[in-house]
Chains A and B, each alone.
Chain A
């Protein structure tokens, strides 16, 4: 066992997590850890429980048993908005933008968690309120600039192309200034060049904003470009973890995707 001094304590610890929907066990005794600034990929066949895991981590559903520790604090009973305030932001597999609102408004709603004015100050529209509102609009524009969608700022989010909607959703999650970003199939529906661009963008974001990432993806090239480690889920259990090279030769992973070898 090598406990080298460089090894940092994990920011997220999931221990013996279970989720049952009636008799259906979607997540079974799942345990893993996430180090600061780490990017962890999650793969697995359809129905493996990947999105359920994200819903558990982001507080949309509650686990049946088990613990989720975020900076040594239990968060499995907290509501979705409380978890966001603690620094875990997510995107959705089926894009959930505020479709009728403009791109800028989408970002501003997310940025609102940093605004500190009170209802009375909002009502009287004091200097603080005006200043914060102005700052939020500026910050939103800067973020759009990073994602190269500045010129679409006043378009309704629903009118954007699929790839732009995905990027806007990531931008919106980043506006929350999270310490952990949960990305649910960020490259779904993108063509190859858009995908490579997104990989570069995410690498850059990881360096600049120092966020950890947990990402579900089916494109191995995407995982390969971003993730340090990868977890493989199948029927709610963790069947393998390690680098992509390690899991590629894992017998159980091959069985999960291709079926057992005929003997």
Chain B
């Protein structure tokens, strides 16, 4: 297990290194740079009188023609706000239609895809945006799953009058999410003092604690698992939750709190020196991330109707990590792409049987060699960005 973790650390380090290398290649253009410096010397002349002498010194050595600076990248995927709204509505409509038209198998895959997307984006918040390395994400999912399952199976029948599941289901899922968020708080407290490899080990230990705790509570079935959960997760519901998750994440990432956790990733001391309270930012990140993992867990429990502790082991965490690094770190679009590619490949490779377990890691190795930051790493489709 430790070796597995170590392998991921290696990939992660490589990924960081390559990203920096790539940005250098893309952006270091000496001719353009010197041209623009000249340009700025002229600007400084107009902006402040005291710098006149410097401007004159610089302008005397003008040799290069004016070059406009490079515009921000990722303009190649331009989708307007209205178009993305229509896309969301279209997706909503098709989520009602698809279960009627397509086979159960297709619907099931789409539901899994949406749950995976929620998991992936919530882990991306910690691993991609904040730059920590959490391998305990399955634990939050487990708590969300068990929490909402307990409410559905054990608590709801105690209420004398019956409520329609349409009303109660979102509340149960949210309750699972809140429970997971509550459990995320101690992990956030631990992240104040430790980071990097050490925090990764702590999250791993956390996952083991949660798993063995669930195995030893007979109220939730112990190692046998929790049976008889009604199949409440439908395609429209998971679609709704996925849209809500991505919508909230988008607004969070493009707010001052989102920028502050990105600053923590880049340099924690500098972030603190820029007035970012790193403690509250970390707390917020862990709580939000574990909340959405809990939501995904609740949806998962009501999809497959049976949960047991061993379905939330290190392998589950690993799958989420694969999705994050496949899709691309620090990218919402990447999370969607990662979850999509992973879920569909997982199904396509079914005929390979045992060999599937070889193909997936092989794919990851190739990805790390040829595109180390993932498919969409540090990039974003315009529909996931906010206009100024």
* B251: A residues at CB distance < 8 A: 122-125
Q: Assess whether A119 is in contact with B257, with CB atoms less than 8 Å apart.
A: yes
Q: Assess whether A100 is in contact with B274, with CB atoms less than 8 Å apart.
A: no
Q: Mark A195-239, 1 if CB is under 8 A from B, else 0.
A: 011001101100000000000000000000000000000000000
Q: Mark B38-74, 1 if CB is under 8 A from A, else 0.
A: 0111011001101101100100000000001111100
Chain A: residues with Cβ within 8 Å of the partner, total of 57
* A125: B residues at CB distance < 8 A: 251, 386
* A152: B residues at CB distance < 8 A: 33, 36, 40, 69
B36, B267, B273 interface centre (most CB from chain A within 10 Å): B273
The answer, yes or no, to whether A154 is at the interface (CB within 8 Å) is yes
Contact (A146, B47) CB under 8 Å given A112-B259, A151-B69, A159-B23: yes
* B48: A residues at CB distance < 8 A: 146, 201, 204
Q: Assess whether A196 is in contact with B271, with CB atoms less than 8 Å apart.
A: no
Q: Assess whether B24 is in contact with A108, with CB atoms less than 8 Å apart.
A: no
Q: Assess whether B41 is in contact with A79, with CB atoms less than 8 Å apart.
A: no
B39, B44, B275, B276 interface centre (most CB from chain A within 10 Å): B275
What is the CB-to-nearest-CB distance from B326 to chain A, in angstroms, rounded to a whole number? Answer: 21
The answer, yes or no, to whether B269 is at the interface (CB within 8 Å) is yes
Question: Once the chains are docked, how many angstroms separate the CA of A41 from the CA of B252?
Answer: 42
SS of B interface (majority): helix
Contact (A150, B40) CB under 8 Å given A96-B269, A129-B255, A158-B20: yes
A154, A201, A203: the one within 8 Å of B69 (CB): A154
Q: Assess whether B72 is in contact with A154, with CB atoms less than 8 Å apart.
A: yes
Contact (A122, B50) CB under 8 Å given A100-B266, A151-B69: no
* B263: A residues at CB distance < 8 A: 98, 101, 109
Q: Assess whether B266 is in contact with A81, with CB atoms less than 8 Å apart.
A: no
Number of A-B residue pairs having CB atoms within 8 Å of each other in the complex = 151
Q: Assess whether B47 is in contact with A200, with CB atoms less than 8 Å apart.
A: no
Q: Assess whether A81 is in contact with B277, with CB atoms less than 8 Å apart.
A: yes
The answer, yes or no, to whether A183 is at the interface (CB within 8 Å) is no
Q: Assess whether A156 is in contact with B72, with CB atoms less than 8 Å apart.
A: no
Question: Once the chains are docked, how many angstroms separate the CA of A55 from the CA of B245?
Answer: 40
Contact (A102, B72) CB under 8 Å given A196-B54, A197-B51: yes
**Which residue of chain A lies nearest to B44 when distances are taken between CB atoms in the complex?**
A148
Q: Assess whether B257 is in contact with A122, with CB atoms less than 8 Å apart.
A: yes
Contact (A81, B70) CB under 8 Å given A96-B273, A152-B36: no
Question: Once the chains are docked, how many angstroms separate the CA of A151 from the CA of B36?
Answer: 6
Q: Mark A117-140, 1 if CB is under 8 A from B, else 0.
A: 101001111000100011001000
Q: Assess whether A153 is in contact with B69, with CB atoms less than 8 Å apart.
A: yes
A110, A129, A155 interface centre (most CB from chain B within 10 Å): A155
* A153: B residues at CB distance < 8 A: 69
* B53: A residues at CB distance < 8 A: 200
Q: List 5 A-B contacts (CB under 8 A).
A: A109-B260, A122-B257, A133-B388, A148-B44, A203-B50
Closest 8 CB pairs of A and B: A98-B266, A151-B36, A148-B40, A122-B255, A84-B275, A148-B44, A96-B270, A113-B275
